[in-house]
Structure 1
Amino acid sequence: QRYALLFMPGSYGSKTHPLNFKVGYYTSVAGLGLSPGDVVINGSVYVRNQCFGPGNCVALDNFWRSLSNLTINVTTPGFGCYSGEFWAVSQAAPMRRVHVNGFATLMDYCTGPSFASGGFIADSAFDGSTVVNGSQQQWLVRNSRLDGWTNGVWNQVFSGVVGAPAQCFPSQKSCGGPYTTVATSPVTREAPYLYLDAAGNYQVFVPAVQRNASGTTWAAGRTPGASIPISRFFIARPSDSVQTINNQLSRGKNLILSPGIYRLEAPIRVKHDDTVVLGLGFPTLVPQDGNAALRVSNANGVDLSGMIVDAGPERSPVLLQVGSGRSEGDDGDGNDHNASNPSALQDVFFRIGGATPGRATTALVINSDDVILDDIWSWRADHGNGVGWTANTADTGVVVNGDSVTAYGLFVEHYQKYNVIWNGNRGTDIFFQNELPYDVPNQAAWMEAPGVDGFAAFKVAPGVTSFRGYGMGSYSFFNQGVDIFADHAFEVPTTLPLASLNDLLTIFLDPSHGSGGIRHVVNDVGGSSTKANPDTPVTVVSYP
């Protein structure tokens, strides 16, 4: 089941009778106001650890849930240890356009060991308390406001955040950390959202592009952007055929995907400029015949937001493709280039196996220029249904062929070759989190080339002349009982401008069950991550 829990404008709960509730799997909680202050919850909206036995309470599997577009006045009387706004999540659990007044924590420290692997916050503000990072291994906060931040673990990144900790990487006694702090975000487009206007009519608000911005879009009043009346949307249900959906899109309609699972015999096709595809309640697209789930032509200003794409029973060469340019490298003709009206993907999550058996070659391909990627989790499942080296096969999680593509919060894990391949010029990635595949059966099965062990987590193609990266980490946990090595986690041209990459790290996970490791951080630079230095970041501050 999938759920969208939508709050009409107004105030809910009180100091004496607060509203406190938990957010579970496949649930999006959102206010229906134009601004976050239009929906106020006096209480808390929380996610806590899952307990799998005594002494085994963690947030590592708290995926696929979201909170957006409302204000929380934290009111938790009688909660004891759980007093406060608890948002103990891992990947694919974004918080957007939320104003928290009171104590907030990203760690559930009330049960242990409380491991967590988040996370993403954007366009949000926290007043009245220092946000507790606690055990969160990594986190990205983008274009928000903080009253304070307690600590870092491996890779805490802040981009365009008012009140962010000062740059401090690697961690040091003098400044804490590890913190990667970027003063302004180069180009952003906040996620579209459903709201009720003053006349009681539904509309979808599409925030405008922001450049070199910091803080929230709503700090000085209404968020810049435009409203689209609900009459200009086709509201799809899982029972609708893909032909019906595509007919509506071809007529110029935008698309709302209501909660549910959409089994698609052909791709959803987006052809018109400025089309919005908005998912409510984690709608899940599953190709059935080796097709893509969604294809976007060389249109400008397209916005895809809030959906899961599952690989299906037949191998798909690609699950989601933006732009119909050449399959490899920059098309060079500029036909898909429109920097003033970039397309964007926000909170788009991919799975190869885990929920249902599935196979793909590549999950996400970006051929268009200037696309903004904002909170992407591309996951070849390491547990769940249909999982194994020869079961949920997938080469690569993300391929970027377009120029001037900007990514924030790129989580790409467990793919069997390169996790990310970046072929375009002038690209930027702010925050990257990766785990290499756990289930490599032997070294011979995982070789980039003769004499080159393993595959890099993130490969910038040899012909690329400019790329910027900030706060990028790759972790290894080879659990088949044999030594498996990757020669390096990051592979980039040595001819990139100086300090193109900033704050890189590798980590060897779980020495009691893991083997092998990563020999270098980037190319042949940086030390090794092996059983000799487990759970310890090996860092490169800048490269080349």
Structure 2
Amino acid sequence: MRRARILGLWLLAARACANACDDGECEQPDATGLVQVTRKAKANANEAAPTTPDFGPNVIVLEPGVASSAIEDRLQSLYEQYISWDEDAQFGDHRTAILLKPGEHQVDVNLWYYSGVHGLGVSPEDVIVKPGLRGEGLRVEQQPPSYPGGPLLPNTNTFWRTIENVHVAQGKLDFFVSQAAPLRSVKVDGNLHLSAGGSDWTSGGALMNSDVSGSIVTGTQQQWYTRGTLMRPYDHPAGQGSYACISCVDRESGLPFYDSWNFEQHQPDQTWHSGLTYMGAPEVFAEKPYIFFQEGQYKLRIPEVLEKHAGPDWQSGSTVGFDKVFVTKAKTTAAQINTAIAAGKHIVFTPAVYYLDEPIVVNHPNTVLLGLGFATLIPQKLPIFIGRGVIEVGNVDGVRLAGVFVQAGPMDSPDFSKAVGALVRWGKPEEPYAGTKSNPGFIYDFIARVGGPDHEPSGVGNMLEIHNGWVIGDNLWLWKADHCVSNSGALCIPQRYVNHCLVVNAENVHMYGLMAEHANDDIVVWNGEKGKTFFFQSEFKYTQGEVSKPWTWQKVPHAVSYRVNAVDHEAVAFGIYAVVLAEWADDDKTPMANVWMQGGFSAIAVKDTSTYRYGFKDISTLNWNGAWPVESRINCKAWAGSTGSCLDSGVATPR
């Protein structure tokens, strides 16, 4: 009788849950007949108390103090599960953000794929991190062996992890990373080590808005981008790319570093590879928005636009309560996001993979779209995306896209008439908009990816298109995958299609820390005047595709890494590489077609010779193997359309 009564109560509770939750996702009552809080109820609770957001299951919020053994074990378990180069780790759907509330934390975190540590202070000094129970602290170490007892692996694939807005007070910070692994708004006591040295090899990376009391030990880093940081000088020039520092301050003198290059003096022919570049403060800049916790409430800080500001900025800006912020969940739809944007709300994407059924459209000025834990947006294969952007920003000022990862969806063949137009389209191609210098658009820590996790062909027309003026980028990695789930080494099957990584069609677009790789046509196409790129890393694609499937190739007779169809352009600290000859896929069974271009590659192409002679400084172009055929390597450092000839043939070959 009691059992029947309990069952009756359970059924009544279940009906109540079903009636109260119209999306069919209510949690079921437990065995005692007590109904757990439903997702609908949680949503209503958030509406009633918007300053206490529900960040979902992939966010770990830690109170200050010594992390318990249970927390340490959980963090170590996540590391062990998601650190390897295999499919489930490097290309899995897991996403994690660790939020540290203000105070002193004693915790050990060795970051894994798609993980980030974010301090919740107003400034980095509000969240102090020291070693926890294991005595290891916060770090990214050298990649562990692929099998027990094997050698440590290089960190060339150490992507998709971040540390932000904390004071690392543990004597040093090891941060052995490559691209898409930003270190932002941190205070480091002691040295910052960017590689393990020796057998390690790293291809990073980005440090921004920070303070390092010791030395920055670059080690084997191929290149590195730093901006707005109080630091000591780099320890040596880069061997292949460049170590660049934009708007940095020498902690010995307290003064900004002296500019390596002076564009106002109009000095020609400074395109040799110096490997070390210091440049002054940007004309205008604002730091990345972030979440902080104060007086029991979560808030969003939107830093101020500053002119010619050198060094870090940890104080400026306005504060927005979370009643003005829409926090997404894994099943949040694009329509819900668009409704929130139209209502004037900012968007925080919690860590998850979002499969969108329509573009996200931003037509409201000053909107912030902030991603946590490498939140990833993927368009579904639907007609609504053909020719459009996954994210579309209209002709409005002050939009800030921060920490968002956009990935291409399925694409059957190199027929771009049926493809998604762009992963991000900033502005309207048919309606040019000059933008506003006092309130630019900003793109921070942006990742675009074509291929990698896919078991079927994928693609997009272009990764990033910018049609509005006064848009500023800070640490972008635009990557067509050169290794995938089926081929973890140097090659990918199936095909990945993309015309260009970046297309700029507006004036006054500035890129600080731009990394773009493997597009099938020109990697970067710059059509707007008064453009700037300070620090650029790029690599040509490796192969055309499978020999047996020539109909899948995207045939391009001639392509370059960086094409400028404007005259007024500044470009500093470039590293452009070719790794193009590969005859077999990793299984040694699938013949691959070598990349072939008429006359070989040109690293850079300019419309007018003066653009290259006066506008380009510290440029490295390099073939990793000089034995490749002429048609499969870089033969010209810079080509001029006005003369139809090679301006500069200074291409290096290290081996």
Q: 2:363 — aligned with what?
A: 271
Q: In structure 2, what is the Cα distance between the partners aligned to 1:513 and 1:21?
A: 43
**Equivalent of residue 140 in structure 1, options 191, 212, 225:** 225
Q: Distance in 1 between matches of 2:165 and 2:275?
A: 29
Q: Distance in 1 between matches of 2:447 and 2:164?
A: 17
Match of 2:422 in 1: 318
Contiguous gaps of at least 5 residues in structure 2: 1-93, 132-136, 251-255, 262-272, 412-418, 584-593, 640-645
Q: CA deviation at 1:510?
A: 5.1
Partner of 1:308: 405
In 1: Cα distance, 2:289 partner to 2:485 partner: 32
Instruction: Report if aligned partners of 2:258, 2:279 keep a CA contact under 8 Å in 1.
Output: no
TM-score by length of 2: 0.71
SS at match of 2:125: helix
Q: CA deviation at 1:151?
A: 2.0
Q: 1:374 aligns with which of 474, 485, 507?
A: 474
User: What letter matches 1:100 in structure 2?
Assistant: V
Q: Per-residue deviation at 1:508?
A: 1.1
Find the counterpart in structure 1 of residue 529 from structure 2: 425
- Alignment counterpart, residue 344 of structure 1, candidates 442, 455, 459: 442
Q: 1: distance between equivalents of 2:307 and 2:194?
A: 28
Change (3 A) 1:389 1:166: farther
Matched, 1:217 2:328: no
Contact 2:543/2:595 (CA < 8 Å) preserved in 1?
no
Displacement of 1:152:
2.6
RMSD, aligned α-carbons: 2.5
Question: Could you say which residue in structure 1 is the equivalent of 2:654?
Answer: 534
State the 1:217 CA deviation: 0.9
The answer to whether the aligner puts 1:23 opposite 2:120 as a matched pair is: no
Considering fraction of residues, name the structure with more strand. 1
SS at match of 1:278: strand
TM-score by length of 1: 0.86
Structure 1 unaligned spans of 5+: 14-18, 76-83, 170-175, 536-544
Percent identical among aligned pairs is 28
Matched, 1:96 2:175: no
**In the TM superposition, what is the alpha-carbon distance from 1:495 to its structure 2 partner?**
5.0
Correspondences of 1:36-55 after superposition (within 5 Å): 36-43=124-131, 44-50=137-143, 51-52=145-146, 54-55=150-151
Residue in 1 aligned with 2:503?
A: 399
Partner of 1:157: 244
| 2:529 is equivalent to residue 435 of structure 1 | no
Question: 1:7 matched to which residue of 2?
Answer: 100
Residues 254 and 487 of structure 1: CA distance in aligned 2, closer, same or farther (over 3 Å): same
Alignment partner of 2:276 out of 179, 188, 203: 179
Matched, 1:502 2:502: no
Query: 2:223 is matched by which residue type in structure 1?
Result: Q
8 Å CA contact 1:344–1:371 kept in 2: the answer is yes
Shift of the 507–168 alpha-carbon distance from structure 1 to 2, 3 Å rule, reads farther
SS at match of 2:339: helix
Q: Is the 8 A contact 2:396 2:435 kept in 1?
A: no
> Residues 282 and 512 of structure 1: is their aligned pair in 2 closer, same or farther, counting only changes over 3 Å?
farther
Q: Which moved more, 1:249-258 or 1:509-518?
A: 509-518
1:68 corresponding residue in structure 2: 164
Are the equivalent residues in 2 in contact too, given 1:267–1:293 (CA < 8 A)? yes
Task: Give yes or no for contact 1:372–1:405 (8 Å, CA) kept in 2.
Answer: yes
Instruction: Summarize the Cα distance change of 1:512–1:26 in structure 2 as closer, same or farther, 3 Å threshold.
Output: farther
Give the one of 519, 522, 531 matched to 2:635.
519
Alignment check: 8 A CA contact 1:256 1:278 kept: yes
1:125 to 1:189, Cα distance in 2 relative to 1, 3 A: same
Matched letter for residue 636 of structure 2: H
* Partner deviation per Cα, 1:303-330 (whole Å, 9 max, x = no partner): 010111110014312111111133xxxx
Distance in 2 between the 1:380 and 1:202 partners?
36
Q: What secondary structure, in the 3-state scheme, does the structure 2 residue paired with 1:525 have?
A: strand
SS in 1 for 2:184: strand
- Three-state SS of the structure 2 residue aligned to 1:74 is coil
Task: Determine helix, strand or coil for the equivalent of 1:249.
Answer: helix
Q: Distance in 2 between matches of 1:36 and 1:72?
A: 9
SS in 1 for 2:116: strand
- The one-character-per-residue Cα deviations of 1:18-53 (angstroms, maximum 9, x if unpaired) are x33201111111100001100001233111221346
Aligned residues: 494
CA offsets, 1:265-301, max 9 Å, x none?
Answer: 1111111000011111110000012523211111110
CA-CA distance at 1:338 after TM superposition:
1.2
- Answering whether residue 598 of structure 2 is matched by residue 478 of structure 1, we say no
Alignment partner, residue 258 of structure 1? 350
Could you give the per-residue CA deviations for residues 470-526 of structure 1, whole angstroms, max 9, x where no partner exists?
111210011234574534101112254551111111011256899831011111133
The yes-or-no answer on 1:118 pairing with 2:204 is yes
Contact 2:379 2:390 in 1 (8 A): yes
The equivalent residue for 1:295 is 392
3-state DSSP of counterpart to 1:522:
strand
**C-alpha distance in 2, partners of 1:165/1:58?**
32
Distance 1:55 1:177 in 2: 34
C-alpha separation in 2, matches of 1:88 and 1:52: 17
Contact 2:292 2:298 in 1 (8 A): yes
Deviation at 1:187, TM superposition (A): 2.6
Q: CA deviation at 1:85?
A: 1.1
Partner residue of 1:362? 462
State how far apart, in whole Å, the 2-side matches of 1:394 and 1:446 are. Answer: 9
Shift of 1:254: 1.1
Whether the 8 Å CA contact 1:189–1:372 is kept in 2: the answer is: no
Aligned-residue offset at 1:375: 0.8
2:164–2:185 contact (8 Å) kept in structure 1: yes
- Between 284-293 and 344-353, the greater mean CA deviation after superposition: 284-293
Q: In the alignment, which residue of structure 2 is the partner of 1:203?
A: 299
